[in-house]
Amino acid sequence: MCSSNRTLTMDSTVLLLLTMFAVLGKVVGDRRLTFVTVLYRHGDRSPVKAYPTDRYQESSWPQGFGQLSQEGMRQHFELGQVLRKRYQGFLNDTYDRHEISVRSTDYDRTLMSAEANLAGLYPPNGSQVFNPSLEWQPIPVHTVPQDEERLLSFPILGCPRYKILMIETERTEKYLNMTFLYKDLIATVREKTGLKNTTIETVWSVHDTLFCEARHNMTAPDWVTPEIMDDLRKLKDFGFEILFEVYKHQEKSRLQGGVLLGSIVNNISESALPDSNRRLKMMMLSAHDTTIVALQSSLSIFNGKQPPYASCHIFELYQEDNGSFTVAMFYRNDTTRAPYQLAIPSCDLFCPLEDFVRLTKPSIPEDWDKECMVESPTKDTEVVIGLAVCGCLLFLLIVLLLAVLCRQRDPSDGYSHIHNEIES
């Protein structure tokens, strides 16, 4: 009897689990992808600068400083192939300009990364082949001038309030402790590199230069030991925290990464509107490590490490079987494994859209110019025009008053003439 009950209990448990799996499978199976945002860092590049005593100056690099290498091109071509495989059946097999929009910062390395990525994502098919010996087709990549960039290049310049926050950040206990902890390293860097003003920020750029040279099989100077490179890496990672966290994290987010986050949330929300007839399926953004960090920091999910070359942050909008929408995020920072899923604090991996919008709202600025304390050129013009108008009115009033006074002092000729006629 006991054995029979145990068997019955086990059968019931198995049946319950099978039912749960069937229900879960149905939910996953009925979940439909509707919109994707892809943000990635450019591929491998030459350093953006060299320190004074560096034996490898700009002439040592085939295309100069800050340029995408052949390795960087390969990285993004492969990422494009990964995206093609991931979104097979969602994106059209052939390029359709209505389905994808590509935006890049105005740097050679990000523009070229986007082009290499698109070559992997959209190899020409059928009528799109214009040269049988060339497995490539031109696809537009849009950008704006660097001095007008306020979406993808961080930290965003021209924000007085952010400058104040950065000054205050350098007075925090955490910043001062790190400076003290690595004071000997900073002194060594100053002595060996010929840099006169060495701070955590300048040490960061030295690490970047040495890292790029090592990746391209260039000989490191004798003073650069594995221990020093490891310490430089730690300071470099801390440099990202300085920019976007450490002090008044949320306010920094509103002035920096929250700008991009707001744009992404708006695009996702528009795609979920009941009467949305948008044909756009993917927004692709080609940018920098600081762009990914600024965005992830505004979402409170930054892992404290520099995003590697061709790393990729993905937002996916799904429509569930009940008609509601959820947002899922994925991060690819390792070419040997699939992107892993991320969740913002206080929400599920598949976060209901309304919760995603609500939870991200505190990091998104309502009026960036106002929060940055930017002087409005329009207001200045209005003041100048107003003063000019007031000046003209005042001048006319003075002229009018003088005219009235003159008439009161000197009787008019007409009045005297009439008076004389009466007397005669």
Supply the residues annotated as catalytic: 42, 289
Sequence-distant (≥ 6) Cβ neighbours of residue 122 within 8 angstroms? 80, 84, 94, 95, 137, 139
Could you tell me if 355 and 347 are in contact, meaning their C-beta atoms sit under 8 angstroms apart? Answer: yes
User: Phi and psi (nearest 5°) for 101?
Assistant: -125, 130
Considering only CA atoms, give the Rg of the chain.
32
Q: Determine contact, residues 258/368, Cβ cutoff 8 Å.
A: no
Residue 201: closest CA among 191, 189, 211, 214? 189
Structure-token match 């207001």, residue found: 379
- The CA dihedral of 256, 262, 267, 270, to the nearest 10 degrees, is -170
Q: How far is it, in rounded angstroms, from Cα 200 to Cα 180?
A: 11
Query: What distances in angstroms separate CA 194 from CA 186, 236, 296, one per listed residue?
Result: 12, 19, 35
